[in-house]
Amino acid sequence: MRTPTVRFAPSPTGRIHLGNARTALFNYLFARRHAGRFILRFDDTDLERSREEYAQAIEVDLTWLGITPDLTVRQSQRFALYAAAADKLKAMGRLYPCFETADELDRRRKRQIGRGLPPVYDRAALKLTQEEKAELIAQGRKPHWRFQLDHRTVNWNDLVRGPSHIDCASLSDPVLMREDGSWLYTLPSVVDDLDLGVTHVIRGEDHVTNTAVQIQLFELLGSADRVPDFAHHNLLASSSGEGLSKRSGALSIAGLRDSGIESLAVATLAVLTGSSDSVQAVRSLDELQVKFDITHTSRGSAKFDPAELDGLSARTLHGLDYEAVQDRLAAHDIAGHKAEPFWLAVRGNLTTFLDVTVWWRVVEGEIERVVEDRELLDAALRLLPPEPWDATTFAQWNGAIKQATGRKGKALFHPLRLALTGREQGPEMANLLPLIGRARVTARLV
Ligand code: GLU
């Protein structure tokens, strides 16, 4: 296979959500797997709706997911390329001006539907004479521009969907440029894919219908051997059947981050939902990359239950190595020689990462200790072994307390846990004890 160049091409008109993360990660993991290039392309030709702050927010969200683009481009800075491509199409006689208003087109479509015909643009504008066009322009009418499709069947071998074809005779000639001179998505996308050497277009299956048109444009503006491979993946939907809308804010990447969900869990769910691999926690994007193969992506539905995310996030945390979280711990002032054993002691008890601050207070700070059995604590204090302590200290100490007091089982452990941690439950006391250290333990037993 040629070394791939892929792109993720969001419109910066809102924040990205879990469904967009799926497309972004499919591209990114595919590029990584084949040592290729990943381009972030902002489809911001709609200057009204696109916002720089959304572009920046999308970059933040992608970084959080672990995606670092090799190149970032903005379509709003590439208009000259699109104009040149349009000129080329005009010179080939394949881009033609149309003057119908939206109302006229609408009435025409309704008539066609009424007669049982497909509502395809009838190419009436192609029949306008030079004089008629000049007359319309003199009246102040501005044309929009349509691409004259070649009425043939376009075939491609979709990496997800297999052999695919669309009969272009069944399509309306697509509008490439609006009357105000602004670009629709179709042409700029092809121009950029050619210019940036994109080899694989991996996107949602809502773009299947654009593909035949775009392949014709690739062939005209580039050449047949520069048509990229296409992979149209199924779209994520929550198990209640709703799609994910960019504007609803539901399951936006930023929202998930704010609620403490692990980025790796988000990536895992986004990538593995609907695959033959069940959605199980992974330890790194590398591991996810190994599990992911675009050509094995199912065509069936990709439904998931948003409620799964909390559990998946917790399970993801439980498997993370210290190296994976070192910087995040340091950001909470959890550093130094205790940091790694601390992480290994508490990770299995975390629901969200922020819970580390609770346990760090238990080992390094002040707690509200609870005295349940004064007599037991007195004995425990008396029998407290000298340091150095390790993971076996707790068992030895317990043995001694048991002998001295006759307490055992819960009656022994529970008061100790409450006194030393202030909590009913938590990480193994054997691991916590050396981290809390003799001085703090003593203070909490007194
Ligand atoms: N801006 C388009 C979208 O967000 C990109 C589609 C494509 O990947 O070609 O749907």
Q: Among 236, 255, 278, where does a domain finish?
A: 236
Q: Within a domain: residue 247?
A: yes
Look at residue 275 in the predicted model and tell me its pLDDT.
Answer: 79
Q: Within a domain: residue 67?
A: yes
- 229 has which bridge partners? 200
**One domain, residues 291 and 230:** no
Q: Which residues have C-beta atoms less than 6 Å from ligand 1?
A: 9-11, 43, 185, 189, 201, 203, 207
Name the pairing type of β-strands 162-167 and 302-304. Answer: unpaired
Contacts of residues 243-250 at CB distance under 8 Å and 24 or more positions apart, as own/partner, are 243/19, 244/17, 244/18, 244/19, 245/17, 246/13, 246/14, 246/15, 246/16, 246/17, 246/20, 247/14, 248/17, 249/15, 250/17
Closest Cα to atom 10 of ligand 1 = 10
What is the whole-number distance in angstroms between the Cα of residue 43 and the centre of ligand 1?
A: 7
What is the whole-number distance in angstroms between the Cα of residue 69 and the centre of ligand 1?
A: 16
**One domain, residues 170 and 191:** no
CATH of the domain at 416: 1.10.10.350
Question: Measuring CA to CA, how many Å separate 441 from each of 159, 338, 347, 381?
Answer: 61, 16, 22, 8
**One domain, residues 299 and 338:** no
- Rounded distance between C-alpha atoms, residue 377 and residue 379, angstroms: 5
Q: Within a domain: residue 418?
A: yes
- Rounded distance between C-alpha atoms, residue 294 and residue 297, angstroms: 5
Report the half-sphere exposure of 26 (CA within 13 A, side-chain side). Answer: 32
Look at residue 247 in the predicted model and tell me its pLDDT.
Answer: 44
DSSP letter (8 states) at residue 38: E
Q: Among 236, 252, 268, where does a domain finish?
A: 236
Query: Under DSSP, is residue 372 helix (H, G, I), strand (E, B) or coil?
Result: coil
Q: Which atom of ligand 1 is nearest to the CA of 10?
A: 4
Question: Which residue out of 43, 200, 236 has the highest number of ligand 1 atoms within 8 Å of its CB and is therefore the one to mutate?
Answer: 43
**pLDDT by position in tens, the chain (length 446):** 778 999 999 999 999 999 999 999 999 999 999 999 999 999 999 999 999 999 999 999 999 999 999 999 999 999 999 999 999 999 999 999 999 999 999 999 999 999 999 999 999 999 999 999 999 999 999 999 999 999 999 999 999 999 999 999 999 999 999 999 999 999 999 999 999 999 999 999 999 999 999 999 999 999 999 999 999 999 998 877 666 654 445 689 999 999 999 999 999 999 999 877 778 999 999 999 999 988 888 888 788 888 889 999 999 999 999 999 999 999 999 999 999 999 999 999 999 999 999 999 999 999 999 999 999 999 999 999 999 999 999 999 999 999 999 999 999 999 999 999 999 999 999 999 999 999 999 999 99
- Rounded distance between C-alpha atoms, residue 278 and residue 260, angstroms: 23
CATH of the domain at 292: 1.10.1160.10
**One domain, residues 71 and 201:** yes
Rg of the Cα trace of the chain? Answer: 31
Q: Among 318, 336, 351, where does a domain finish?
A: 318
Q: Within a domain: residue 89?
A: no
CATH of the domain at 40: 3.40.50.620
Cite the beta strand spans of 192-296 per DSSP E: 200-204, 229-233, 236-238
**One domain, residues 221 and 201:** yes
What is the whole-number distance in angstroms between the Cα of residue 270 and the centre of ligand 1?
A: 17
Name the pairing type of β-strands 153-158 and 162-167. Answer: antiparallel
Look at residue 59 in the predicted model and tell me its pLDDT.
Answer: 98
Q: Please give the full DSSP string across 122-181, using - where no structure is assigned.
A: --GGGG--HHHHHHHHHTT---EEEE----SEEEEEETTTEEEEEEGGGSPPPEEE-TTS
Q: Within a domain: residue 86?
A: no
- Rounded distance between C-alpha atoms, residue 118 and residue 139, angstroms: 32
The amino acid present at 137, given as its one-letter code, is: I
**One domain, residues 23 and 38:** yes
- 303 has which bridge partners? 237
Total structural domains within the chain: 5
Question: Which residue out of 62, 189, 190 has the highest number of ligand 1 atoms within 8 Å of its CB and is therefore the one to mutate?
Answer: 189
The amino acid present at 130, given as its one-letter code, is: Q
Q: Please give the full DSSP string across 52-85, using - where no structure is assigned.
A: HHHHHHHHHHHHHHT---SEEEEGGG-HHHHHHH
**One domain, residues 291 and 351:** no
Structural domain boundaries enclosing 424: 374-445
Q: Which atom of ligand 1 is nearest to the CA of 206?
A: 10
Q: Within a domain: residue 217?
A: yes
Closest Cα to atom 5 of ligand 1 = 9
DSSP letter (8 states) at residue 241: S
Q: Within a domain: residue 271?
A: yes
**One domain, residues 104 and 171:** yes
CATH of the domain at 108: 3.90.800.10
**One domain, residues 130 and 251:** no
**One domain, residues 309 and 424:** no
**One domain, residues 52 and 115:** no
The amino acid present at 31, given as its one-letter code, is: A
Query: Under DSSP, is residue 93 helix (H, G, I), strand (E, B) or coil?
Result: coil
**One domain, residues 289 and 327:** no
- Rounded distance between C-alpha atoms, residue 287 and residue 214, angstroms: 34
Q: Within a domain: residue 369?
A: no
